Chains A and B, each alone.
Chain A
Amino acid sequence: MGRNTTPKQDWMLLIGFSVVLLAAPFLLTPVGAGYPDLLQKFAIFGIFALGFNILFGLTGYLSFGHAAFLGVGSYAAVWTFKLFSMNPILALIVATVIGGLFSVIIGFVSLRRSGIYFSILTLALAQMSYNMAYSVATPITNGETGLQLAQSDPRILDVAFGRDYGAVLPSSDLFGIHMNGYPGFYFCAVIFIACFFLSMRIFRSPFGMMLRAVKSNQNRMSYTGLNVRPYTLAAFVISGMYAGLAGGLMAVTDPLAGAERMQWTASGEVVLMTILGGAGTLLGPVIGAGVIKYFENIFSAFNEGVLTQLFDFLPAFLQHAMVSVSSLFVGEGWHLTLGALFMVIVIFLPGGLMEGFNRIRSLVARLLRRDTEEPEKPDPIERVPEPAE
Chain B
Amino acid sequence: MSKFTISRRGLLKSTAIAGVGIAAPTILTSRAWGYTNEPTGGTVTFGFNVPQTGAYADEGADELRAYQLAVEHINGEGDGGMLNTFSSKALRGNGVNGKKVVFVTGDTQTKSDAARASAKRMIEKDGAVMITGGSSSGVAIAVQGLCQDAGVIFMAGLTHSNDTTGKDKRANGFRHFFNTEMSGAALGPVLEKEFGKDRVAYHLTADYTWGWSQEGSIKKYSEQLGWQTQAAVRTPLGAGDFSQYITPVLNSGADVLVLNHYGRDMVNSLTQAVQFGLRDKQVNGKDFAIVVPLYSRLMAQGAGENVKGIYGSTNWHWSLQDEGSKAFVSSFGKKYGFPPSQAAHTTYCQALLYADAAQRAGTFRPSGVGAAMEGFKFDGLGNGPTEYRADDHQCFKDVLVVKGKENPTSKFDVLEVVEITPRAQVEYPASLLGGELGPYNDGA
Chain A interface residues toward B at CB < 8 A: 32, 34-38, 41, 131, 134-135, 138, 143-146, 148, 151, 167-169, 171, 180-181, 250, 254, 256, 258, 260-261, 296-297, 300-301, 303, 305, 331-332, 334-335
Contacts and interface: CB of A to CB of B under 8 A. Distances in A.
Nearest to B71: A305
A144 B124 contact: no
20 contacts: A34-B125, A35-B124, A36-B120, A38-B117, A131-B236, A144-B138, A145-B138, A146-B112, A167-B438, A168-B439, A169-B148, A180-B149, A256-B142, A258-B138, A300-B106, A300-B107, A303-B104, A303-B105, A305-B102, A332-B53
A145 B210 CA distance: 9
B339 to A, nearest CB: 21
Interface in B139-191: 141-142, 145-146, 148-149, 163, 168
A145 B105 contact: no
Interface in B7-66: 52-53, 57, 60-61, 64
B121 A167 contact: no
The 4 closest A-B pairs by CB, nearest first: A332-B52, A37-B120, A144-B208, A35-B125
A145 B209 contact: yes
A337 to B, nearest CB: 12
User: Looking at B125, B141, B146, B441, which has the most chain A CB atoms within 10 Å of its CB?
Assistant: B125
A330 B142 CA distance: 25
B438 A169 contact: yes
A301 B439 CA distance: 31
A151 B436 contact: yes
Q: Is the interface of A mostly helix, strand, loop or mixed?
A: helix
Contact of B111 (A37, A138, A260, A332): A260
Contacts of B118: 297, 300-301
B124 A258 contact: no
Given A134-B207, A134-B237, A145-B138, A297 B117 contact: yes
B405 interface: no
Contacts of B61: 332
A309 B163 CA distance: 40
Nearest to B110: A260
B137 interface: yes
A148 B168 contact: yes
A250 B114 CA distance: 12
Contacts of B52: 300, 331-332, 334
Contact of B438 (A131, A146, A148, A168): A168
B92 interface: no
Contacts of A148: 141, 145, 168
A46 to B, nearest CB: 15
Given A297-B121, A301-B107, 10 more contacts: A134-B237, A144-B209, A145-B138, A145-B209, A167-B439, A256-B142, A258-B142, A300-B118, A301-B105, A301-B106
A261 to B, nearest CB: 6
A37 B53 contact: no
B360 interface: no
Contacts of B163: 145
Nearest to B106: A301
Contact of A146 (B57, B104, B124, B138): B138
Given A144-B138, A146-B138, A258-B138, A301 B146 contact: no
Contacts of B397: none
Contact of B53 (A34, A258, A261, A335): A335
Nearest to A37: B120
A300 B60 CA distance: 13
Contacts of A305: 102-103
A65 B52 CA distance: 26
A267 B148 CA distance: 30
B234 interface: yes
A168 B441 CA distance: 8
Nearest to A142: B209
A301 B112 contact: no
Contacts of B73: none
A146 B142 contact: yes
Contact of B125 (A32, A41, A180): A32
Interface in B73-116: 102-107, 111-114, 116
Contacts of A143: 208-209
B142 A135 contact: no
A151 B124 contact: no
Contacts of A37: 117, 120-121, 124
Nearest to B148: A169
Contact of A334 (B107, B141, B234): B107
Interface in B193-212: 207-210
Nearest to A134: B208
A260 B112 contact: yes
Contacts of A32: 125
A244 to B, nearest CB: 16
Contacts of A151: 436, 438
Contact of A256 (B104, B116, B208, B441): B116
A261 B113 contact: yes
